[in-house]
Structure 1
Amino acid sequence: MSPPHAASLKQGIRAVAARAGVSTASVSRAINNPEAVSPSLRARISQAIEAVGYIPHAPARILSSRRSRTLGAIVPTIDNTMFARGIASLQKYLSSVGYMLLLTTSGYDLDAELEQARNLISRGVDGLVLRGDCHHDALRKMLADNAVPFINVGIYRPDRPYPCVGTDNEAAAYRAAAHVIELGHVRIGVVSALQRNNDRASARVAGFRRALAEGGIELPEKWHVEVPYTLDDAREAARYLLSLDDRPTAVVCGNDVIAYGVLLEAERSGFAVPRDLSVVGFDDLDWSRHLRPSLTTIHVPTGETWQRAGEYLVRRLAGEQTIMHHEVDYSLVVRESTAPPPSLKRQGRSR
């Protein structure tokens, strides 16, 4: 016995065929392979579909253009305010131009991302928005073999042969670390996001390290901690750094949520920010300006970045001229969480 949805589809095709005065095979052929039927027959079947109110499966696509007017986006997680903000901007733009968005997550797993991309393509998406440029080789091949346009969002890599829109993460992180160096800090720790399958996190760590190296400042291995994207893990990292006898006087963080965890743990451990510890974030989330002390951070226009990703794909699908690599500016926002380092006496105070 056929499932209810299959029976409904058959009835819908029969109604279209009867309305157009053709066979159900002709309707199926017009939906799945429009070029196999004449323009006049395709137009008649299209009119019948509209009159009957039949909605073909997504892979059938719109008869006249063979487009579903649907884009897919694969993000590592939705448990991230920055991703939520970006997806909201992308969705708003796509809705304004008559496109729909399908969203999936990969959990920073390249195999999972490959599988999700396969699922989205099988459902007829016209293009994909991907996070970063760290992808499975099989995914790149699948996109090329199926001629599916895509764009890497959140990075700027003009040296790569793939379209991208985003900030130069290494340069932005360099600026963040340079800020505390300019304030006089030489004991600087790093709390970064996990770098595995995350080229944005890796680029930010590289930027931190380059600034320190150029300033002649050593980064001891014990002063660099990688953590998952959670407040609890960030607090644990801060607890460890602040418990060291030779603790840092400043901590630069891979994102704002990590910085929030460092701020919270510093307060709980009896340290005053920025008197005893300076903290710098990255992303400039909404809460960063409302905290006390407010967070010094790198501002990245997340909404603009994701909207531009959508604009690139829509224009590409329309056959318009597009720019493959688009850099989005960042800026250092200095607030209350950074200041010159404490005196040597204060560095060695008992806790």
Structure 2
Amino acid sequence: MKPVSQALGAGSSRPRGVGIRAVAKKAGVSTATVSRFLNRPESVSAELGIRIRAIVDEVGYIPDASARALSSRRTRTIGAIIPTIDNAMFAQGLQALQRYLSSQNYLLLLATNEYDLDIELEQARNLVSRGIDGLLLRGDAHHDALRDLLRAKAIDFVNVGVYDPEKSYPSIGVDNEGAGRCIARHLIDLGHRSVGIVAAMQRNNDRAQARMRGVFSALQEAGAAPRPEWQMQVNYKLDEARQAARMLLQREDRPTALVCGNDVIAYGVMMEAQKLGFDVPGDLSVVGFDDLEWSRHLQPALTTIHMPTDEIWTRAGQYLVETLAGHPAMKHREIDFSLVVRDSSAPPKSV
């Protein structure tokens, strides 16, 4: 029996791919021109770019990422750390981010931290060790050691989903506290003074904390501060939201309206309310945050705060790409939210 190396043939254990010289020769341009197109497609004419791309696809050329990184000191890779992928809003945002980064010839590496700052720090170390050029972080609740790491390695980063111009760290997102005040004032204007809260878990979640600060401040100003027994925290899961609704709605002194930490929680609350025989919004008004796709299709359709998720994540990607290219980029960018009034909110029966 022949040794494997002989059976395969010398040097054939890893077939060599088509090189950049073959692409350049077939296109009738220099290797530098091909390289420039691959790194910055906008640097060549549209006609030439189409021709080079067609030849690249025809011959099956795949650039050597490690060689490109050595020559440019860049891997064209962006990392992102989010709490979980079990959240429709994060999935939507990541899709928008991926779409933008792909258009700029950047690769996205994703990690999750389960709202645990220690896990986030370890994941950041892993991403840095793999040569990321920049990093997107969800919110502004992070270990100081994480910021120290990124500073020491000269890695640009941006906090996504928050807007805080007072901080020295770049941020792109909405005024979450303002969004909380907005949704609470909607219920106040309808005449509700008995308002309960089914919030998202607050631990290491500065966005959820800010939303609830806004809700509480608006209710307190109206003399309608929610009773402690009307306040609950749940994970972003339908079954936990339904359990919370069951506990609140089976009370004799139940609230007439519930503010939910996001749309998924609101879905669970409405499902349980209807199962228990309550009319929404006749007996109970329900409101949420995020304006997920399902929110306008429910019966009744959900009143919520629209968060421009695609724009937030795309803008965050643009900030990193522009910063890495040495172009001036706006360090803090506020994206406007909006109140979307649908059928799940109405005046209480006593009004």
Question: TM-score category by the smaller chain?
Answer: 0.7 to 0.9
TM-score normalized by the length of structure 2 = 0.82
Corresponding letter in the other structure for 2:153: N
Distance (Å, rounded) in 2 between the aligned partners of 1:249 and 1:273: 10
Contact map agreement 1:271 1:277 (CA 8 A) in 2: yes
- 2:67 counterpart of 1:55: no
Alignment of 1:312-331 (within 5 A): 312-331=319-338
What is residue 225 of structure 2 aligned with on the other side? 218
Equivalent residue for 2:262, pick from 250, 255, 278: 255
Contact map agreement 2:96 2:310 (CA 8 A) in 1: yes
Identity over aligned pairs, percent: 60
Distance (Å, rounded) in 1 between the aligned partners of 2:321 and 2:65: 22
- 2:115 counterpart of 1:98: no
Alignment of 1:185-224 (within 5 A): 185-224=192-231
Distance (Å, rounded) in 1 between the aligned partners of 2:342 and 2:302: 6
Distance (Å, rounded) in 1 between the aligned partners of 2:335 and 2:221: 25
Cα distance change of structure 1 residues 55 and 294 upon mapping to structure 2, 3 Å threshold:
same
Distance (Å, rounded) in 1 between the aligned partners of 2:234 and 2:176: 18
Contact map agreement 1:70 1:126 (CA 8 A) in 2: yes
What is residue 279 of structure 1 aligned with on the other side? 286
What is residue 160 of structure 1 aligned with on the other side? 167
Cα distance change of structure 1 residues 53 and 164 upon mapping to structure 2, 3 Å threshold:
closer
Aligned length: 301
What is residue 236 of structure 1 aligned with on the other side? 243
Contact map agreement 2:160 2:173 (CA 8 A) in 1: yes
CA-based RMSD: 2.3
- 2:147 counterpart of 1:149: no
Distance (Å, rounded) in 2 between the aligned partners of 1:212 and 1:258: 20
Question: Alpha-carbon deviation of 1:244?
Answer: 1.0
Structure 1 runs not aligned, ≥5 long: 1-7, 17-51, 345-351
Question: Alpha-carbon deviation of 1:83?
Answer: 0.2
Question: Alpha-carbon deviation of 1:275?
Answer: 0.1
Distance (Å, rounded) in 1 between the aligned partners of 2:171 and 2:350: 45
Distance (Å, rounded) in 2 between the aligned partners of 1:175 and 1:56: 48
Determine helix, strand or coil for the equivalent of 1:203: helix
Distance (Å, rounded) in 1 between the aligned partners of 2:157 and 2:312: 15
Question: Alpha-carbon deviation of 1:54?
Answer: 7.7
Distance (Å, rounded) in 2 between the aligned partners of 1:159 and 1:12: 55
TM-score normalized by the length of structure 1 = 0.82
Determine helix, strand or coil for the equivalent of 1:64: helix
Contact map agreement 1:280 1:295 (CA 8 A) in 2: yes
**Structure 1 runs, 4 residues or longer, greater than 2 Å off:** 10-13, 52-57, 60-64
Distance (Å, rounded) in 1 between the aligned partners of 2:99 and 2:135: 16
Distance (Å, rounded) in 1 between the aligned partners of 2:186 and 2:134: 39
Structure 2 runs not aligned, ≥5 long: 1-10, 20-60
Contact map agreement 1:117 1:139 (CA 8 A) in 2: yes
Contact map agreement 1:151 1:309 (CA 8 A) in 2: yes
Distance (Å, rounded) in 2 between the aligned partners of 1:308 and 1:56: 26
What is residue 340 of structure 2 aligned with on the other side? 333
